[in-house]
Structure formats: structure tokens, C-alpha cells
Amino acid sequence: MKTPIEVFSDWVDIGKDEGMEKNHYMPVMEMIKLYNVGNAYSFVDAGCGNGWLVRYLFENTNCVNGIGVDGSKKMIKKARLLDNLGTYFNADLLSWNPEDKVNVVFSMEVLYYFENPQTLINKIHDNWLLKNGRFIMGVDYYFENNTCHNWQEKTKVNIMKLYSIEEWLSFFKRSGFKNINYKQVCKEKNWEGTLVVYGDKG
Ligand SMILES: C[S@@+](CC[C@H](N)C(=O)[O-])C[C@H]1O[C@@H](n2cnc3c(N)ncnc32)[C@H](O)[C@@H]1O
């Protein structure tokens, strides 16, 4: 078993980060629709991988400041090579805070790699977001999505926490988020879709 950061660093070596970019593209496009990216805004992509979403948002929306953070040195090295608009930090999400708070935080397929996601969700609410800011997260690994139940065995990642939709919503409630809601997007046969949970900092 390896840590999530070790596993994803290995993925960069074999180009699997680009496969992830392709697989996550459609659900992430649904996540973006939950924020008005037509107005000027700032964002953080928590667990940005090779930075593809940061690049996409700079190229296609009105963002004025965008930050990607990832614990994998190799992911961040690749992101910096591909992009000179976004700002990238190689850091553990639990020990990092933005210098200036942002309007929106996106995070795709990251939050279940924590022993206790509540700690990170609290931090995003308290230290990362501006008042009225929004947190939008997506996960494919959740209890109702039966197909994913063997992923920990398959990927050999040492921390993967399988929570239900209700449990994810409770994390948001306990952090103090308002207007909490969820969607399951890009459903297919034998695939319950990406669970997207979002809420606003009041
Ligand atoms: C499944 S990948 C998703 C990457 C990206 N969001 C995407 O959609 O392509 C998960 C990412 O989270 C990062 N990660 C996992 N645990 C982390 C932590 N504690 N701190 C920072 N990054 C972490 C990994 O390095 C990896 O790049």
C-alpha cells in the first residue's frame, strides 16, 4: 500500500494523469456550471493534479486569479511546465492556506483521500473562502456508487474513505456551509455518476 501522493506521482511517470484528465472532464464541466464563471472571480483547485482544470478556467472563463495545489511534486512540476497563467503550490492540503481568500474552491476526486475530510472541509470554509464563496467538490468513490467499492484493492492506496451521500452532506453542514445541495452527474449503466456536493459560505 502507498500514500495517495505516492500513487499519483507514479501515475505521472506513466502518463496516467492525462487519462484522469479525460475521465474527469465531463463531470467537472457539470461542476463548473454550478458557479457563475462569466463574472470576474478567483478560485483554488484543491488537488489539481497536472493542472488541467486551472488551465481550462484561465482559457475559457473570466477568472482573474487561479491557484492549483497538489501534494505530488511531479504533478505540480508538470502543471508548471504546461501553464504560465495559474499559480501552483506543491503542498499538503491540510497544511496550506491561500494568501488571499477566493470566490470558489473546486476539488475533483480528492476529498476521500483524507483520514478525516471534515478537517479539510472546515479549513476550506474558514480559511480559504471569501464570504458568499462556494465550495464545489466531486467524488466518484462513494457508497451509493457500487462499481467503485473495490477501488482501494485495485489502486493500493492506503487511505480511501467510502462515505455515503448523507455523510458528505453532513460534513458540509458541520463546517457551517449554507445552501448545501448535491447532484449525481454523468450517470451511466452500472455507474451512479460523479457525486457533486456544493455549499456556500454565509
Ligand atoms: C484522483 S487525483 C485528481 C486530480 C485532479 N483533481 C483531476 O481531476 O485530474 C487526486 C489528486 O489529489 C492529490 N492529493 C491527494 N492527497 C493529497 C493531499 N493530502 N494534499 C495535496 N494533494 C493531495 C494527489 O496527488 C492527486 O493529484
Tens of pLDDT along the chain (202 residues)?
A: 999 999 999 999 999 999 999 999 999 999 999 999 999 999 999 999 999 999 999 999 999 999 999 999 999 999 999 999 999 999 999 999 999 999 999 999 999 999 999 999 999 999 999 999 999 999 999 999 999 999 999 999 999 999 999 999 999 999 999 999 999 999 999 999 999 999 999 9
Map residue 195 onto helix, strand or coil.
strand
- In angstroms, what is the span from residue 37 Cα to ligand 1's centroid? 23
Residue of minimum CA distance from atom 18 in ligand 1 = 92
Q: Is the CB of 8 under 6 A from ligand 1?
A: yes
Could you tell me the residue range of the domain that residue 81 belongs to? Answer: 4-200
Q: Is the CB of 75 under 6 A from ligand 1?
A: yes
Residue 161: CB partners within 8 Å, gap ≥ 6?
112, 113, 114, 115, 117
Cα–chain-centroid distance for residue 51? Answer: 11
**Number of domains observed in the structure of the chain:** 1
- Which strands form 41-46's sheet, in the order they lie side by side? 87-90, 63-70, 41-46, 102-108, 129-139, 194-200, 178-185
- In angstroms, what is the span from residue 48 Cα to ligand 1's centroid? 6
Closest to 62 in 3D by CA, of 44, 86, 38: 38
Residue of minimum CA distance from atom 24 in ligand 1 = 5
